[in-house]
């Protein structure tokens, strides 16, 4: 900077300087309306200049675009793709369910995912900083998002701990859940009654793994095996995120890609199994009448919502480490479709394996009932004349048994029920819908016991679950650490370690013998409603407060092209409407369906629905309240100026760009810096007003809409104005009108 420039002279002077508006604006480059980056259109035929961001602004960055995409894929593709989507597909009409899911992915999923990617990349902050910047009064959005991440992370890592336990148990042959344990009473050996009434895999899950109690009120003490598994899970997560994206980015290369290797291996192996085609055909046989049911659309919207990880803060955090000119629109579409096709792939795998299992169980049913019929024939309860001549009981087929069953039922119509024969229909086995832990730790494990080389496939399956969970946990932890590290200057490694230790101690709630019931509680109440509220407020704050047109212009400045106009209407009207309907449906469902959980009753060896006791019910609604509490608290506190609005905490790149502009100032006529005025003109005594063109219009925006008192986070404009400087009062901005 020249030594005789006005800026340098003022820095070297020891006299008290009362800065005027003109002095402040002298720090900025001359503003050319036509070429300004704040001009929407720019000069006719000229490209709008891009925002210049220093390459080294002190913020970590992804090593490559591939690393970033894998991180977003790893976060969005999780356990729900494997054990939730296939269940919803089977429950809601098979192939017909894919239609509402795909439609809602296009009108809700991709636009909102794009929105989160864009705000994170533009402002380059975590969730707290982003929403403080967009609208300080709605800064509680980021805090609520962080709270939800905390709740979800607590129980999600418990599921990873379960997978770790099963992973190590898989290194033995035969698998420990392949047969029921034998209880010896002297010389008499009998099957464990609880296992005999259920199945070997069910018994291993509820008794030998969880050792669960019969009610949530019975703690039963800590389960040592699960406590150690949880400890290992938190060590893995801590090591993955301790260095931020420098460590988690490298982990994502494996944790994001390995599940696809396993899924393809399972698909190939599954298609070679007997009955796999039956399962896939059952899965994709469309029941078109289901598409007319509102419940199907509500569940499809919920699955789209959670499949992409909207509202958790992880999407924003990952995107904030991008270059500002990264094509986040391409990223949003790519990751959304990868997520969708992963769900389809997982569904094919699940139902290929479950089709095989259904055939095995159906053959077992036929054998058991054929033995009953032979017994009735030997005791003359049934006549040999009823048996068709081609039926061979030594090797009876499913079709032969179905024919025999029909004959006996027709002849013994009055006393048929006393015979205790079952129809043994393959369709009944395929219709047994399972989801969640029931699919992963019971149904799928039972199917794998019938695989050749079953330990190998079991190791692969649970290692895949660990990696799927790890990818989601890295995104969840990043959604916690990034906004805190952006807001408060704390050591990254120390804060990460403290978070993991604290989370492990809180997670002991889930590894007591009744811990499985608390996992269900947190899964049902800690994320659903609060996260939906968070996302709709994100949508409204950008589309209706910040302004959709202004946001579209920001995107054009970042991307170098203007996104399709359909996003304007989706963000402003369609997505808010759909989210309001989803919230209403969620509240109605919570009001109609009594809160409860499925408890494992040891005496009956089966699950039974039980209502939550009063203290547990209070805990359920406390989770919702605590997660949403920052929203009204921050709004009220900032409305009455009880806390800083946080809007002056600009992104590092934004501040660096401003300082770079100041350092390039040279001695020029001071009036030239004021709105590009000609030398010699006398500036007005009030604050300078700039004109900004709205998209597709020639009318300038009201400059007061960029007031620091408004919800646009631009308080840097008058941050340095001396108290002695006369200023014209500004009024808070009203939400932008797009009419």
In DSSP notation, 294-330 reads HHHHHHHHHHHHHHTTTTSSHHHHHHTTS-TTS-HHH
* Residues 715 and 645 sit within 8 Å (Cβ to Cβ): yes
Q: Check the annotation: does 468 bind a ligand.
A: yes
Neighbours of 554 (CB within 10 A): 18
Tell me the C-alpha distance between 455 and 263, whole Å: 16
Torsion sign (Cα): 600, 604, 609, 611 = negative
Tell me the C-alpha distance between 478 and 125, whole Å: 12
Q: Check the annotation: does 153 bind a ligand.
A: no
Torsion sign (Cα): 155, 156, 161, 162 = positive
* Residues 566 and 486 sit within 8 Å (Cβ to Cβ): no
Tell me the C-alpha distance between 55 and 280, whole Å: 51
Tell me the C-alpha distance between 358 and 425, whole Å: 10
CB within 8 Å of 221: residues ≥ 6 apart: 512, 513
Q: Check the annotation: does 339 bind a ligand.
A: yes
Q: Check the annotation: does 698 bind a ligand.
A: no
First-residue to last-residue Cα distance in the chain? 46
Q: Check the annotation: does 472 bind a ligand.
A: yes
The tokens describing 141, both together, are: 């959005």
* Residues 158 and 511 sit within 8 Å (Cβ to Cβ): yes
The tokens describing 330, both together, are: 């391409």
What does each C-alpha distance from 305 to 41, 528, 535 come to in angstroms? 35, 10, 9
Tell me the C-alpha distance between 34 and 46, whole Å: 9
Torsion region of 309: left, alpha or beta (phi above 0 gives left; psi -120 to 50 gives alpha): left
The tokens describing 660, both together, are: 């770079």
- Nearest CA-CA partner of 258 in 465, 32, 505: 465
Triad 637, 639, 645: Cα angle to 5°: 70
Torsion sign (Cα): 359, 364, 365, 371 = positive
The tokens describing 166, both together, are: 């099963």
The tokens describing 361, both together, are: 């169980």
Tell me the C-alpha distance between 382 and 373, whole Å: 8
Q: Check the annotation: does 63 bind a ligand.
A: no
Residues making up the binding site for Na(+):
74, 77, 81, 339, 468, 472
Please state the residue numbers annotated as binding site.
Answer: 74, 77, 81, 339, 468, 472
């Amino acid at each position: 900077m020249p030594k005789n420039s006005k800026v340098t002279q003022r820095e070297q002077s020891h006299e008290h300087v009362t800065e005027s508006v003109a002095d402040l604006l002298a720090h900025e480059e001359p503003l050319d309306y036509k070429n300004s980056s704040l001009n929407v259109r720019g000069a006719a035929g000229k490209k709008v200049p891009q925002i210049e961001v220093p390459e080294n602004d002190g913020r970590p960055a992804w090593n490559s675009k591939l690393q970033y995409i894998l991180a977003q894929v790893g976060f969005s593709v999780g356990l729900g793709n494997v054990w939730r989507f296939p269940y919803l597909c089977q429950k809601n009409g098979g192939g017909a369910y894919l239609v509402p899911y795909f439609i809602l992915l296009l009108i809700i999923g991709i636009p909102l995912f794009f929105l989160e990617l864009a705000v994170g990349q533009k402002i380059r902050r975590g969730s707290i900083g982003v929403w403080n910047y967009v609208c300080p009064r709605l800064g509680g959005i980021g805090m609520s998002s962080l709270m939800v991440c905390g709740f979800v992370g607590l129980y999600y890592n418990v599921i990873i701990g379960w997978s770790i336990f099963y992973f190590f148990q898989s290194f033995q042959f035969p698998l420990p859940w392949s047969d029921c344990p034998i209880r010896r009473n002297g010389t008499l050996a009998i099957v464990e009654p609880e296992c005999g009434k259920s199945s070997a895999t069910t018994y291993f899950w509820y008794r030998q793994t969880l050792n669960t109690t019969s009610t949530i009120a019975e703690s039963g003490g800590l389960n040592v095996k699960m406590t150690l598994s949880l400890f290992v899970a938190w060590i893995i997560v801590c090591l993955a995120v301790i260095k931020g994206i420098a460590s988690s980015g490298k982990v994502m290369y494996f944790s994001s890609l390995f599940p696809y290797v396993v899924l393809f291996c399972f698909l190939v192996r599954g298609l070679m199994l007997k009955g796999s085609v039956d399962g896939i055909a059952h899965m994709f046989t469309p029941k078109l009448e289901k598409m007319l049911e509102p419940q199907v659309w509500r569940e499809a919207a919920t699955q789209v919502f959670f499949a992409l990880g909207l509202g958790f803060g992880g999407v924003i955090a990952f995107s904030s480490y991008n270059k500002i000119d990264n094509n986040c629109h391409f990223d949003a579409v790519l990751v959304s479709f990868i997520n969708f096709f992963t769900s389809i792939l997982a569904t094919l795998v699940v139902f290929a394996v479950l089709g095989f299992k259904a055939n095995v169980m159906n053959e077992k049913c036929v054998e058991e009932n054929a033995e009953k019929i032979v017994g009735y024939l030997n005791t003359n309860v049934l006549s040999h004349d009823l048996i068709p001549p081609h039926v061979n009981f030594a090797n009876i087929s499913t079709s032969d048994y179905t024919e025999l069953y029909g004959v006996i039922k027709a002849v013994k119509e009055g006393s048929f029920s006393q015979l205790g024969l079952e129809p043994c229909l393959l369709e009944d086995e395929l219709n047994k819908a399972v989801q969640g832990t029931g699919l992963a730790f019971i149904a799928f494990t039972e199917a794998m016991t019938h695989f050749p080389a079953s330990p190998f496939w079991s190791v692969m399956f649970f290692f895949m679950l660990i990696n799927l969970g790890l990818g989601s946990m890295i995104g969840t932890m990043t959604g916690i650490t990034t906004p805190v590290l952006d807001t408060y200057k704390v050591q990254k490694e120390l804060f990460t370690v403290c978070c993991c230790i604290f989370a492990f101690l809180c997670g002991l709630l889930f590894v007591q013998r009744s811990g499985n019931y608390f996992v269900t509680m947190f899964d049902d109440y800690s994320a659903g409603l609060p996260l939906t509220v968070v996302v709709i407020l994100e949508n409204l704050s950008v589309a209706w407060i910040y302004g959709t047109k202004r946001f579209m212009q920001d995107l054009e400045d970042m991307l170098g092209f203007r996104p399709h106009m359909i996003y304007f209407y989706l963000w402003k009207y369609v997505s808010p409407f759909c989210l309001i309907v989803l919230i209403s449906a969620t509240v109605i469902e919570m009001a109609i369906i009594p809160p409860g959980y499925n408890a494992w009753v040891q005496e009956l060896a089966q699950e039974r629905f039980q209502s939550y006791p009063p203290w547990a019910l209070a805990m359920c609604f406390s989770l919702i309240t605590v997660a949403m509490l920052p929203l009204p608290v921050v709004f009220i506190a900032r409305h009455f100026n009880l806390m800083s609005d946080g809007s002056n905490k600009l992104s590092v790149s934004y501040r660096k760009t401003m300082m770079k502009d100041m350092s390039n100032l040279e001695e020029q006529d001071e009036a030239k810096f004021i709105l590009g005025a000609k030398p010699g003109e006398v500036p007005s005594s009030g604050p300078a007003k700039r004109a900004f063109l709205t998209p597709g219009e020639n009318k300038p925006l009201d400059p007061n809409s960029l007031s620091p008192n408004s919800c646009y986070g631009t308080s840097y404009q008058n941050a340095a104005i001396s108290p002695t400087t006369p200023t014209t009062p500004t009024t808070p901005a009203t939400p932008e009108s797009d009419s």
